[in-house]
Structure 1
């Protein structure tokens, strides 16, 4: 139950803080860190909860933004990177980066809590 709550709170806080332009892009890592400090879990569960939360949040958000402009920008960026023009691949890479950063922040928060 704590695992699911941790996923939801991390995703909701990250989404809420990212709506304000005054906050930098890495605010979601701070949210994941704080949630991992507040909700006691084993380190691997904290990492996994934050990873899932941000992977889904950034993946869905990137897909919605990409679909709104008919995949024009993502195809051009995917051609620059070695992704063969695949808009889905660039969305997955985006979601993966967000998930790893959030997972590492949550892992740090969980390990600090253990100290």
Structure 2
């Protein structure tokens, strides 16, 4: 459930909001629907990772990866695909940590273990 909520909301927000909105979405969704920190991390990680891969491909395919290739050269990466992988993993970590934080804050507020 958490995975689907974060995936859909982050995908919608990815077209109109800044990148850090994914962290807020994962935190709030995990606060209300998350049960355990470990599973919430995994759900948030993969939801944001998949969303960012989709958003990157939607934005880079129409221009034949020109900008992504130039940024990959600036960062000394072998190609735009490596830039995609690195960016998606960083987004996944942000989503996972935010989702885990949401569950941990809920547990701290309610006194649950």
- TM-score if structure 2 supplies the norm length? 0.88
Distance 1:71 1:51, change over 3 A: same
Q: After the TM superposition, which parts of structure 1 deviate over 3 Å for at least 4 consecutive aligned residues? A: none
Distance 1:78 1:65 in 2: 15
Answer whether contact 2:68 2:83 (CA < 8 A) is retained: yes
Q: What does 1:24-103 align with in structure 2 at a 5 Å threshold?
A: 24-84=18-78, 86-103=79-96
Which blocks of at least 5 consecutive residues in structure 1 are unaligned? none
Distance 2:21 2:43 in 1: 17
Cα displacement (A) at 1:105: 0.7
**Which residue number in structure 1 is paired with residue 111 of structure 2?**
none
CA RMSD of aligned residues (A): 1.3
Distance 1:65 1:24 in 2: 14
- TM-score if structure 1 supplies the norm length? 0.86
CA deviations 1:11-45 (Å, max 9, x no partner) are: 1111223333xx43311111000111111321011
Q: 1:11 aligns with which of 4, 7, 14?
A: 7
Distance 1:18 1:75 in 2: 21
Distance 2:7 2:34 in 1: 17
